[in-house]
Every structure is written in C-alpha cells, then in structure tokens.
Amino acid sequence: MSGTRPLLVDQDENEHGEFWVRLRGGNGMKTFTSEMHPTRSNAVRAARAYIAAIEPVPVIFTYWTGKLPDRDQTRKVRAAEKVTERFHGA
C-alpha cells in the first residue's frame, strides 16, 4: 500500500468528561465520529479495535494521555499530552 495516505484516527475529549474517536481520511476530511465513551481508556480501546480490523490500511492514531481535566476546566490548562502512534506502515 505504498503511496497511500494514511487514515487519521483521533481520540478527543471535552471539559465535560465526554470521550470519542474521530476518523479522518488522508486528506483530513472528517468521515466518522464514534459514539461517546464513558472513559478515555474505552475510547482508546475502541479506536485500537477499529485499527486492528482494517489492517493493512496505514493509520496514524493520536490520543490524550495523562491527568484528566477537572470538570469544566478548559483544554488550555490541562496537564495531559497527545501521543501519536503509527500502524501498518504509516
């Protein structure tokens, strides 16, 4: 699959404690947003299951790790960082 743009899978969250996964095409256009998950780890687990199911499609997966924001705390002051992983030759 050389020369193929990888799919972009992003775990995201908001200050209200809602977690979801978004799938974007290689051009960055949003194609799918998952249901809300009760925890960050559930959202990451769902994303990894999807990535495994579409093998050998190249994927770049980004997700949050670290301290969860306090309720109603803005993203600007949170003590978490984004992690990026590459799968299937992305």
pTM for the complete prediction? 0.84
Q: What are the domain boundaries of the chain?
A: 1-58
| Structure-block tokens of residue 51 | 């990535």
The CATH architecture assigned to 1-58 reads 2-Layer Sandwich (3.30)
Pairing of strands 59-66, 7-13: parallel
For the chain, percent of residues with pLDDT exceeding 70: 86
* Other Cβ atoms closer than 10 A to 78: 16
pLDDT digits (tens, 9 = 90+) for 68-83: 766 665 555 556 789 9
Q: Are 33 and 21 in contact (CB under 8 A)?
A: yes
Q: What is the mean pLDDT of residues 24-39?
A: 94
Distance CA 55, CA 37 (A): 23
